[in-house]
Structure 1
Amino acid sequence: MGAKADQPADRLIGRWQFPSKGSSVDIYKQGGLYFARVAEVDQAGERNFGLMKDSLLIRSLQYDGEVWGGGRLIHPKTGISLSVEVEMQKPKAIDVTVYKGIKLLHRKFTMTRQE
């Protein structure tokens, strides 16, 4: 028997656009963990962040009842592995916090659900 898509944790599944609206990721579930694969890339995403279509951007997020955390983002341009935490503020918007080491020094951006 498969997991229902209406599980609170599975609300994260779908296509999400970066703030620039030109690039997006598909978030999917595999083995109880959540992953983000690059779906669409615009020139800015490619030039500024090194995004490549179909590359795995975020791996191994786990839902704790409030946030999806414990995941890793491999920065496409630098290859640096960063910690990732995702929080859903509303059904069509997620806040993604990326940090290395301590969460005090972080970068946060909002992604919107693509219908």
Structure 2
Amino acid sequence: MSLFLFCLPVSGKSSVDLTGDQILGYWLFPARGSSVELYRSGNRYYGRIADVSSTGKQQFGIQKNQLLMSDLIFDGTGWSGGTLIHPRTGNHFDIEIKMVDSQTLSAKVYKGFRWIGKEFVLTRKPQ
């Protein structure tokens, strides 16, 4: 049995690193006018505003390239431990993201207590 373990290939990257990257790309907000680019730096994931709708500018003060999400870590099932920065107020909220399918993300934003949060759906932006 121990001989079998020595035959398994070993690589420098774990499967967690590879599956965590499925979140990378451009995602549309529920209103579908603004989008966010999710990217990776080191072992953490971030989101910045990629496109801004006129509604996003007026109601939320969103500006292109503005940092929206920071310090998300992939834990094998989702991305958590991160912060959402409200574009207008600058308030920080906890955020957790789960991938529903390859085209859909579910994001839970809360302050302290998960059950008192807001959940919204992001869809992958067509290329």
Q: Could you state the TM-score of these two structures normalised by the residue count of structure 2?
A: 0.84
Alignment RMSD (CA, Å): 1.7
Identity %: 38
2:71 maps to a residue whose letter is S
Give 1 or 2: higher strand fraction: 1
Give 1 or 2: higher helix fraction: 2
Residue 59 of structure 1 is matched in structure 2 by 70
Higher Cα Rg, which structure: 2
Residue 20 of structure 2 is matched in structure 1 by 9
1:69 maps to a residue whose letter is S
Within 5 Å, which residues of 2 pair with 1:71-110?
Answer: 71-110=82-121
Residue 45 of structure 1 is matched in structure 2 by 56
Residue 111 of structure 1 is matched in structure 2 by 122
C-alpha distance in structure 1 between counterparts of 2:48 and 2:14, whole Å: 21
C-alpha distance in structure 2 between counterparts of 1:3 and 1:15, whole Å: 24
Residue 26 of structure 1 is matched in structure 2 by 37
Unaligned stretches of 5+ in structure 2?
A: 1-11
Change (3 A) 1:36 1:3: farther
Question: How much does 1:45 deviate?
Answer: 1.1
Question: How much does 1:2 deviate?
Answer: 8.0
Q: What is the number of residues matched between the two proteins?
A: 114
C-alpha distance in structure 2 between counterparts of 1:93 and 1:19, whole Å: 11
Moved over 2 A (4+): 1-4
Q: Could you state the TM-score of these two structures normalised by the residue count of structure 1?
A: 0.93
